[in-house]
Amino acid sequence: MAYPSSYKYTREHEWLQVDGKTASVGLTDFAQKELGDIVFVELPEVGKVFQAEEAFGTVESVKAVSELYAPVSGKVTATNTDLSDDPELINEDANSTWLIKIQMSDTKELDGLLSADQYQAYIAQES
């Protein structure tokens, strides 16, 4: 699956779609394939503040439980409540299934994230 070129990516396999000072955060297609069937997602409460690279939740699959990390610092403004009942939505379309929306406190942190091409090169080295 292609990785949207308008997104930013982390080495921990999260994607970030930026809209002004708000960013949607999701799990990459590579990560969902590595995890296998996702059965549970734990997300933070709206209003919680995270620093970049801080764990904000977990995703549980039939294979493992993995931490989710905030790509940027900021405050959670929304969580994808659909994932409570249907965590497999991530497996069905990882590129469009967001986990949280975060109001970024420092947009300069985006400079430290990977482009789609850089992320694809990174996962090619990991495989």
Averaged pLDDT, groups of 10, the chain, 127 residues long: 92 97 97 96 98 97 95 98 96 97 97 97 90
pLDDT at 1: 61
pLDDT at 64: 92
Q: Is residue 3 part of a domain?
A: no
Q: Is residue 2 part of a domain?
A: no
pLDDT at 22: 98
Q: Is residue 57 part of a domain?
A: yes
pLDDT at 127: 75
DSSP string covering the chain? -PPPTTSEE-TTSEEEEEETTEEEEEE-HHHHHHH-SEEEEE-PPTT-EE-TT-EEEEEEESS-EEEEE-SS-EEEEEE-THHHH-TTHHHH-TTT-EEEEEEES-GGGGGGSBPHHHHHHHHHHH-
Domain that holds residue 61: 8-106+113-126
The domain that holds 26 is classified in CATH as 2.40.50.100
Q: Is residue 1 part of a domain?
A: no
Q: Is residue 21 part of a domain?
A: yes
Domain count, the chain: 1
